[in-house]
């Protein structure tokens, strides 16, 4: 299958290993990955912060770049949630119904990476090997916008050597929330510290999720607290194989 | 002086104070965790929960789309039953109406049932200004009032206080305004509830005027529905001569049958109970069986302007259950006071800016941002209000406002620059490359960032950008045909010119310039627009409307549910009924029992206690001196353990089952139904009703259910069945 990769601006700027892992897993499974180089940001931050106009410009830009592809895959639940849900909602809120329909059309072809594996490719074992104790944090957009409940964990359970541990109150938000982390920094940090405490209580070596943005927030607190826990996107764990782990 | 909220401080400033209060955070975490678990348990018991949510949302949508017609129908039915209907466009008018009514009755104090509407209009302050003391009677409101505090939760305004703090408030303050708390008061919730009972008892028995809100008002019967736990509501709604109910226009439901949905959604979402202990339902004035004078004050106060917004209409579906507060991670950490008004939490963050549309205070502008948009509120909402979506739209309005002000807000300028950066892959790549240079610094993480990102780095490290980008790796390892470089055409942008038009059309305030009734009705009509949104009530009730259990299983379920809420249940046949009643009276140590006038002599043959038939009518003081009361019932709902009196045969007046501290209720097999819709169908819609689920109880102390406040503290139920079924 030919897959267009949307890596997201956060990964473009800060976490190149995540999209690289996506490419490796998909190619290992025999799929062709193409990378439209004009891509930048989906506009999530603008749309969520109330900058509808700017966000919808970026939405249109996204559509023009990805419109020719049948399948678009991205390693970020919140960006996929934006493309699939927020684009059309935002367009409709200003009466741009036909734009909303166009954006919906591309949104329906855009998949979060783990969702693409389990729901489209119907794969649960990607041949990964990772000998560590791992905690999984279901990010809000993966859970409540995309409805990805158990499938990411199923992927993790099939990784050789991986021990998956449960986190208390796992469905609770980590407190990142995009601009919320700046505008309401103190509340955001209070939420994040509680999340980190629940994660640390599991004694997991690695915390993984489907959104690097949330992991940056939790990881920033972990690093400041010198907690030693490693933050990894789920794709990076799935890319780990005997050859290079 | 009653304290009121200050709207000049924004959410982050208020939250800062709350976040520093370790005791407050511990209290909130404990209470919200308790209620979340309870809610999940009782919601999980219903396999038609999602269908009930859909029905609730659809009925509310219909009501809001026909709000003016339904308000007029409601008015007609209330007036037909001897009530008086007043209309208030705003808080000042509503307060004026209530103050004048109270003054005309010549009293200087009133008893109050907890009501969000009266908190919203700051009625207590208005009454106080005219020398009228309003005594709050809900346990949590009493705690707030005695402690000279502000409410912090819709359901449990004193949720921020724990049991030992409550004990201290009772010891310090109760004596100043009535019966003091006993010196040996402990922090046992039951003891605290008992202190509240004693403190308010005489006030209830002597009050002339009560003020309440309502959870629902039913257009086609004129009925008011007040849902509560402790019995303070029943006291206020039943004993005083005059009742004034202040109700937001959005509380209207179209018809009696709607209650079968909302009486399932509300208690399970709110207190996490299958059914709340008490619900009172009555229409208009009910002389002899409740207040002789009834005034309904319908308030607009921003609702019609919220109605003009499609999202605003969604917000008006709210039934004030507070499920969204209880699941909100922001609320859990910041508490209710951070929201700066009586409606806190996610619903407050969308409701308050809608109700105060057009006002721009620092608080209102900060509320839509007081959320991480995690979506837990939407998931819990019984009427499916998509709160995150509405928050985002309210943020857009604030930003649109910023676009109009000069000089431009720094955030707006920054966001526009970012958009430009993201609109050009080349520009974006330059920034990424610059990041790569920072990445070469001999650091492991970034500890200091420039403003405004210093608000991030104050407590959080930031990752060092990578030295090699994904793009260069991909280009090195892939053939050219994997790289597609099509450039988007941004020149032909349909949004560019349309946006200004959108701004001009951004709806603002819906003007109200007529008086009273006509003012409210015309505002609603204007808000609903022309042509109106077409909506109709759901044609089918696709939730469970009929039970499937046989009679004995149904009886067993009822028994189980009654016992679960601390009701003592005994079973007997007709022949043993009188002896059974006597045994219950003896066990309770009762020497007197009140009964409706029409109780058959056969029920009382074996009763040794002195029997007081309600004929001639027993006074409240008489009832207060009687140990027990005995009634039949109209119907009993097995699934929720609810027994309903509708003032029919063998049921007596409402006060009868309220004032004595011990209640015996007799239920016959044929009166038991399985599910709520079957119960609602059997009731006389416009005759005064009391729904009873267990002894009086409260969840106001740390959200744990404790039996025994103002209503009967002991409830005995006799299930009468044919001998062969025993």
**Which of A20, A186, A224 comes nearest B461 by C-beta?**
A224
| A58/B423 touch (CB, cutoff 8 Å), yes or no | yes
Give me the mean pLDDT over the A94-115 stretch: 97
B507 found inside a domain: no
- A57-90 core/surface letters (b: 16 or more CB in 10 A; e: else): bbbbbbbbbbeebebbbbbbbbbbbbbbbbbbbb
Q: Does A173 touch chain B (CB under 8 A)?
A: yes
Q: Inter-chain contact B431–A13, Cβ cutoff 8 Å?
A: yes
| Residue of A11, A89, A123 whose CA lies nearest to B471 | A11
CB pairs under 8 A between A and B: 236
Interchain proximity A60–B490, CB inside 8 Å? yes
Contact: B490, A223; criterion CB under 8 Å:
no
* Burial of B2 (C-beta count, 10 Å sphere; 0-12/13-18/19+): middle
**Confidence (pLDDT) at B255:** 97
Q: Kindly report the nearest CA distance between residue A123 and chain B, in angstroms.
A: 24
Question: What's the rounded Cα separation, in Å, for the pair B665 and B631?
Answer: 5
Over residues A85-105, the mean pLDDT reads 96
Q: Note the pLDDT of residue A13.
A: 95
Q: Which of B676, B432, B674, B410 is nearest to B548 (CA)?
A: B674
How many CA within 13 A on the CB side of residue B667? 30
Q: Which of B447, B455, B495 sits opposite A57 (nearest CB)?
A: B495
- Shortest distance between the Cα of A242 and any Cα of chain B, in A, equals 21
Residue B462 lies in a domain: yes
Domain positions in chain A are 2-120, 133-239
Q: Is B188 domain-assigned?
A: no
* Nearest CB to B455 within list A20, A171, A182: A182
Residue B513 buriedness (CB in 10 A; 0-12 / 13-18 / 19+):
exposed
Between A57, A65, A194, which is nearest B486 by CB?
Answer: A65
| Interface with B, mutate which of A17, A24, A38, A50 (most B CBs under 10 A) | A50
B566 and B682 together in one domain: yes
A126 in contact with B at a CB cutoff of 8 Å? no
Annotate B111-135 with b (16+ C-beta within 10 A) or e (fewer): bbbbbbbbbbbbbbebbeeeebebb
Chain A CB within 8 Å of residue B401 CB: no
Measured in angstroms, the CA of B251 and the nearest CA of chain A are apart by 26
Kindly list the averaged pLDDT for each block of 10 residues, start to end, along chain B of length 726: 86 96 92 94 97 97 97 97 96 96 96 97 97 97 96 94 96 95 96 95 96 98 97 98 98 98 98 96 96 97 92 94 97 96 97 86 94 98 97 95 91 95 94 90 91 94 94 92 75 45 34 69 92 86 97 97 96 96 98 97 97 96 98 98 97 97 97 98 95 93 86 97 72
pLDDT of B474 reads 96
The verdict on a CB contact (< 8 Å) between A46 and B419 is yes
Which pLDDT belongs to residue B495? 53
Residue B458 lies in a domain: yes
In this prediction, residue B725 carries a pLDDT of 64
* Closest-approach residue (CA) in chain A for B309: A93
Residues ≥6 apart with Cβ < 8 Å to B279 = B225, B226, B227, B228, B263, B689, B690, B691
d(CA B223, CA B263): 14
Using a pLDDT cut of 90, give the percent of chain A over it.
97
Q: Please indicate whether, in this complex, the C-beta atoms of A95 and B502 are within 8 angstroms of each other.
A: yes
Please report residues of A whose CB lies closer than 8 A to that of B375.
Answer: 140-141, 143-145
Choose the final residue of a domain: B477, B507, B539. Answer: B477
* Burial tier of B516 (Cβ tally within 10 Å: 0-12, 13-18, 19+): middle
pLDDT of residue B491: 46
The number of distinct structural domains making up chain B is: 2
pLDDT value at position B651? 97
Chain B residue numbers with beta carbons less than 8 Å from the beta carbon of A43 are 422
Quote the minimal CA–CA distance from A138 to chain B in Å: 11
Which of A52, A99, A176 is closest, CB to CB, to B372?
A: A176
Enclosing domain of residue B615: 551-725
Q: Please check the confidence at residue A71 and state whether its pLDDT lies above 80.
A: yes
Q: What's the pLDDT score for residue B538?
A: 87
CATH number of this structure's domain A133-239: 3.40.50
All residues at 6 or more sequence positions from A31 whose CB lies less than 8 Å from its CB, including other chains: A1, A2, A3, A121
Q: B562 with B665, same domain?
A: yes
Q: Mind telling me how many Å the CA of B325 is from chain A's nearest CA?
A: 13
Q: Decide which of B477, B494, B515 is a domain's last residue.
A: B477
| Any domain includes B407 | no
How far apart are the C-alpha atoms of A4 and A72, rounded to whole Å?
Answer: 5
Minimal Cβ distance to B369: which of A19, A54, A180: A180
Q: Within a 13 Å sphere around the CA of B473, how many CA atoms are in the beta-carbon half?
A: 15
Domain ends where: B460, B477, B494?
Answer: B477
| Any domain includes B106 | no
Q: Tell me, what's the pLDDT at A179?
A: 96
DSSP assignment, residue B8? T
Q: Does A172 touch chain B (CB under 8 A)?
A: yes
For residue B132, CA distances in Å to B22, B101, B106, B129, B359 come to 37, 12, 10, 7, 30
Residue B637 belongs to a domain: yes
Give the pair of three-digit tokens for residue B405.
């002000």
B346, B456, B460, best to mutate vs chain A, most A CBs in 10 Å: B460
Q: How far apart are CA B666 and CA B577, in angstroms?
A: 9
- Spatial CB neighbours of A163, under 8 Å, sequence gap ≥ 6: A132, A133, A134
Binary contact (A37, B425; C-beta < 8 A): yes
State the pLDDT confidence band at A150, using cuts at 50, 70 and 90. very high
Instruction: Check whether A242 has a pLDDT greater than 90.
Output: no
Q: How many CB atoms lie within 10 A of CB B397?
A: 19
The rounded distance, in Å, linking the Cα atoms of B382 and B327 is 13
């Amino acid at each position: 299958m030919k897959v267009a990769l949307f890596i997201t601006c956060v990964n473009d700027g800060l976490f190149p290993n995540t999209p690289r892992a996506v490419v490796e897993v998909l190619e290992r499974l025999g799929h062709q990955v193409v990378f439209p180089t004009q891509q930048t940001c989906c506009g999530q931050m603008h749309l969520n912060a109330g900058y509808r106009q700017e966000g919808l410009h970026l939405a249109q830009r996204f559509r023009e770049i990805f419109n020719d592809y049948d399948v678009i895959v991205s390693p970020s639940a919140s960006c996929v949630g934006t493309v699939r849900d927020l684009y059309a909602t935002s367009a409709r809120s200003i009466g741009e119904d036909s734009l909303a329909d166009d954006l919906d059309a591309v949104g329906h072809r855009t998949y979060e990476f783990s969702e693409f594996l389990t729901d489209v490719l119907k794969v649960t074992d990607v041949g990964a090997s990772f000998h560590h104790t791992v905690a999984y944090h279901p990010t809000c957009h993966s859970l409540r916008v995309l409805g990805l409940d158990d499938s990411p964990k199923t992927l993790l359970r099939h990784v050789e050597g991986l021990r998956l541990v449960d986190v208390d109150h796992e469905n609770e938000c980590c407190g990142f929330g995009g601009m919320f982390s700046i505008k309401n920094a103190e509340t955001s940090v209070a939420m994040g510290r509680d999340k980190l405490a629940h994660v640390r209580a599991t004694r997991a070596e690695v915390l993984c999720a489907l959104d690097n943005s949330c992991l940056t927030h939790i990881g920033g607190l972990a690093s400041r607290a010198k907690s030693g826990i490693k933050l990894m996107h789920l794709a990076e764990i799935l890319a780990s194989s005997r050859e290079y782990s | 002086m009653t304290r009121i909220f200050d709207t000049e401080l924004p959410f982050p400033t208020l939250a800062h104070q709350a976040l520093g209060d370790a005791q407050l955070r511990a209290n909130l975490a404990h209470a919200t965790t308790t209620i979340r678990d309870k809610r999940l348990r009782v919601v999980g018991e219903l396999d038609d929960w999602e269908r009930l949510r859909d029905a609730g949302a659809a009925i509310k949508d219909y009501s809001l789309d026909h709000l003016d017609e339904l308000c007029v129908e409601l008015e007609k039915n209330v007036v037909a039953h001897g009530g008086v209907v007043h209309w208030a466009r705003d808080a000042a008018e509503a307060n004026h109406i209530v103050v004048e009514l109270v003054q005309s009755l010549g009293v200087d104090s009133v008893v109050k049932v907890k009501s969000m509407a009266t908190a919203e209009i700051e009625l207590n302050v208005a009454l106080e200004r005219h020398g009228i003391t309003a005594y709050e009677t809900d346990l949590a409101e009493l705690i707030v009032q005695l402690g000279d505090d502000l409410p912090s939760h819709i359901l449990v305004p004193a949720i921020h206080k724990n049991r030992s703090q409550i004990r201290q408030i009772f010891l310090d303050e109760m004596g100043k305004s009535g019966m003091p708390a006993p010196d040996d008061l402990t922090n046992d919730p039951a003891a605290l509830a008992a202190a509240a009972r004693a403190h308010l008892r005489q006030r209830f028995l002597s009050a002339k005027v009560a003020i309440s809100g309502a959870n629902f008002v039913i257009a086609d019967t004129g009925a008011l529905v007040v849902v509560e736990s402790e019995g303070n509501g029943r006291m206020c709604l039943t004993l005083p001569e005059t009742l004034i109910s202040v109700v937001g226009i959005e509380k209207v439901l179209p018809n009696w049958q709607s209650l079968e949905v909302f009486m399932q959604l509300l208690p399970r979402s709110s207190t996490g109970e299958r059914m709340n202990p008490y619900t009172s339902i009555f229409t208009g004035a009910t002389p002899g069986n409740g207040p002789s004078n009834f005034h309904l004050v319908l308030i607009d106060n921003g609702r019609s302007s919220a109605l003009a917004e499609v999202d605003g209409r969604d917000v008006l579906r709210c039934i004030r259950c507070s499920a969204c507060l209880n699941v909100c991670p922001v609320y859990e950490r910041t508490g209710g006071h951070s929201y700066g008004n009586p409606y806190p939490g996610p619903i407050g963050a969308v409701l308050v800016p809608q109700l105060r549309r057009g006002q721009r205070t620092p608080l209102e502008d900060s509320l839509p941002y007081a959320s991480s948009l995690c979506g837990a509120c939407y998931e819990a909402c019984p009427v499916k209000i998509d709160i995150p979506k509405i928050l985002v739209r309210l943020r857009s309005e604030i930003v649109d406002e910023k676009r109009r002000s000069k000089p431009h807000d720094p955030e707006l300028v920054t966001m526009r620059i970012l958009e430009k950066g993201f609109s050009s892959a080349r520009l974006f790549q330059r920034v990424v490359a610059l990041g790569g240079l920072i990445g070469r610094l001999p650091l492991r993480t970034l500890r200091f960032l420039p403003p405004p990102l210093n608000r991030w780095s104050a407590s959080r490290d930031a990752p060092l950008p990578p030295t090699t980008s994904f793009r260069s790796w991909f280009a090195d390892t892939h053939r050219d045909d994997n790289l597609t470089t099509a450039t988007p055409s941004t020149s032909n942008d349909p949004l560019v010119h349309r946006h200004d038009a959108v701004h001009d059309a951004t709806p603002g305030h819906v003007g109200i310039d007529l008086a009273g009734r006509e003012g409210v009705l015309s505002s609603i009509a204007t808000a609903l627009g022309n042509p109106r949104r077409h909506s109709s009530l759901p044609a089918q009730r696709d939730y469970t409307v009929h039970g499937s259990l046989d009679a004995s299983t149904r009886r067993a379920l009822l028994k189980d549910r009654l016992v679960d809420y601390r009701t003592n249940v005994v079973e007997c046949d007709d022949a043993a009924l009188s002896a059974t009643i006597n045994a219950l009276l003896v066990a309770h140590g009762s020497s007197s029992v009140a009964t409706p006038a029409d109780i058959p002599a056969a029920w009382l043959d074996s009763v040794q206690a002195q029997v007081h038939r309600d004929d001639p009518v027993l006074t409240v003081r008489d009832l207060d001196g009687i140990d027990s009361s005995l009634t039949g019932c109209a119907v009993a709902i097995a699934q929720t353990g609810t027994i309903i009196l509708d003032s029919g045969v063998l049921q007596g007046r409402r006060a009868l089952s309220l004032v004595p501290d011990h209640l015996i209720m007799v239920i016959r097999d044929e009166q038991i139904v399985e599910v709520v819709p079957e119960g609602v169908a059997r009731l006389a819609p416009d005759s005064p009703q009391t729904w009873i689920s267990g002894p009086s109880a409260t969840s106001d102390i740390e959200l744990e259910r404790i039996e025994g406040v103002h209503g009967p503290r002991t409830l005995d139920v006799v299930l009468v069945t044919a001998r062969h079924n025993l």
